[in-house]
Amino acid sequence: MIKPVLISAFCVAAFLCGLSSAQVNHPRALTATPNFGRCKTPHGMPGSCIILQNCKKLYKLLLIKPISDVNKLYLSQSQCGYWNGKILICCPIHNTTPSIQPKIDLKPIQSSKAIKKAILLKHSPTESINMRKVPLPGQCGQMTTSRIYGGNATKIDEYPWMALIGYKKQLGQSGYHCGGSLINARYVVTASHCVNGRALPSDWKISTVRLGEWDTTTNPDCEIDSTGAKDCAPPHIDVPVELAIPHPKYDPLSINQINDIALLRLKETVIFTDFVRPICLPLNSNLHGASFDDTILDVAGWGKTESQTNSNIKLKAELDVVPLKDCRNVYRPQGILLKDTQMCAGGKRGVDSCRGDSGGPLIGLGTTSKGHTYFFLIGIVSFGPATCGMEGWPGVYTRVSNFVDWIQATIRT
């Protein structure tokens, strides 16, 4: 979050402003044929999430040149992750070892009708309900603190779903360069460009997610409350990342950075406290078509500030949602064509997300039919002008409501 000092060159695309490159890792030791757990194939059949090259049947599809659109679609729908620069694929369970005869024949999907059905099934509302693996309002989007207006620093227990994404670099170095949001006890949502973006240095590997953090310079963190008493949080936790899953349709080289969303599966489930709690997703179907135009949302993170360095303390800012039509007019002359799975917020001088905030949440306040309020994830920090906080230049965010089905279909229990 930043106030600009200089108006300098515009950062033409997200990958110039932020992170990137096809590199993801997790701390699991390398074995001959690592298996990343169970998954479902696009046909809904049981599968194992393994490296593409180890799944004979699907790998064969790649060798038939030219690859038909049908096979391309099937392969992209089968992707279940990304590991050490390698694509992970949901391999039909009877096909993971070459000695076993595959029982699933891929031929039927060569009719486009079957594909349409597979896509429809994926998005059918009944399946969304059955597959709900994220909490509902009441168990998510709550915080103990009351909101503060006008200030930039958050309270110690504000936005307890905020995560910092930690990278391992060369020579044993490490650093936190993106934000994210905890959505259940095992998964964090972030931006895909934080996982496989083009600007991500190739020697950076995602290694951990930090939760329960407020001030990065102290551990435990303590705040002096309004009565003058010292209020301390438990120490933050660094949870290893088991698997980083970029959206299969995210293209690191694209100028408009559509589908800039990724899931991080944690190696262990986390215990919720006042300082570690999930945010709700926009599950309610009436939130799906909503533009959120002209509403005020919060963005939070530890990204760059007006002093040009990252913030030690979790910061927040209030941003106006800018209608997509207006935002398109701002970005179009730069050759960036925004899609309706994206949204814009900000554009006021001095108030913006900034480098390092990527992957972090754009947060809305919802109300249940019983009148209970809860916070939910509306957007994910994607890209914006290189000089943050420029008047008339809103930041671009991934519109989460468009990805709820993907999130639910991708999460494993």
Q: Distance between CA atoms of 244 and 28, rounded to whole angstroms?
A: 12
Q: Tell me the closest approach of the beta carbon of residue 403 to ligand ARG, in angstroms.
A: 18
Pattern 283-322, binding to ligand ARG, x per CB under 6 A?
A: --------------------x-------------------
Q: Which is nearer to ligand ARG, 210 or 355 (CB)?
A: 355
Q: Which is nearer to ligand ARG, 106 or 343 (CB)?
A: 343
180 counts as binding ligand ARG under rule CB under 6 A? no
Q: Which is nearer to ligand ARG, 81 or 356 (CB)?
A: 356
The helix (run of H) or strand (run of E) holding residue 179 is: strand 174-182
Spatial CA neighbour of 50 closest among 62, 33, 25: 33
Among 381, 404, 407, 409, binds ligand ARG (CB under 6 A): 381
Q: Distance between CA atoms of 308 and 170, rounded to whole angstroms?
A: 24
Q: Which is nearer to ligand ARG, 233 or 381 (CB)?
A: 381
With b for 16 or more beta-carbon neighbours within 10 A and e for fewer, the 315-354 pattern comes to: bbbbbbbbbbeebbebbeeeebebeebbbbbbbbeebbbb
Among 319, 330, 388, 409, binds ligand ARG (CB under 6 A): 388
Pattern 65-104, binding to ligand ARG, x per CB under 6 A?
A: ----------------------------------------
Counting every residue, how long is the chain? Answer: 413
The neighbouring-strand residues paired with 262 are: 190, 246
Instruction: Give the catalytic positions in this structure.
Output: 193, 260, 358
384 counts as binding ligand ARG under rule CB under 6 A? yes
Q: Which is nearer to ligand ARG, 9 or 29 (CB)?
A: 9
327 counts as binding ligand ARG under rule CB under 6 A? no
Q: Tell me the closest approach of the beta carbon of residue 184 to ligand ARG, in angstroms.
A: 24
Question: Which residues within the stretch 334-363 sit at the binding site for ligand ARG (CB under 6 A)?
Answer: 352-358
* Residue 273 CB contacts under 8 Å (≥ 6 apart), including other chains: 160, 212, 234
Neighbours of 247 (CB within 10 A): 22
Q: Which is nearer to ligand ARG, 104 or 255 (CB)?
A: 255
The token duo for 280 is 């709700």
395 counts as binding ligand ARG under rule CB under 6 A? yes
Q: Tell me the closest approach of the beta carbon of residue 367 to ligand ARG, in angstroms.
A: 28
Q: Contact region for ligand ARG (CB under 6 A) — 40-48, 58-66, 71-79, 378-386?
A: 378-386
Cβ atoms of 179 and 165 within 8 Å: the answer is yes
3-state secondary structure 324-374: HHHHHHHHHHHCCCCCCCEEEEECECCECCCCCCCCCEEEEEEECCCCCEE
Q: Distance between CA atoms of 52 and 78, rounded to whole angstroms?
A: 10
> In the chain, what is the straight-line distance between the N-terminal and C-terminal CA atoms, in Å?
34
User: How many residues form the binding site for ligand ARG (CB under 6 A)?
Assistant: 18
* Rounded-to-10 torsion of CA 142, 404, 90, 382: -90
Question: Which residues within the stretch 6-65 sit at the binding site for ligand ARG (CB under 6 A)?
Answer: 14, 17-19
Q: Tell me the closest approach of the beta carbon of residue 308 to ligand ARG, in angstroms.
A: 13
Q: Tell me the closest approach of the beta carbon of residue 95 to ligand ARG, in angstroms.
A: 39
Q: Tell me the closest approach of the beta carbon of residue 17 to ligand ARG, in angstroms.
A: 4
Q: Tell me the closest approach of the beta carbon of residue 355 to ligand ARG, in angstroms.
A: 4
- Give residues in contact with ligand ARG (CB under 6 A): 14, 17-19, 303, 352-358, 381, 383-385, 388, 395
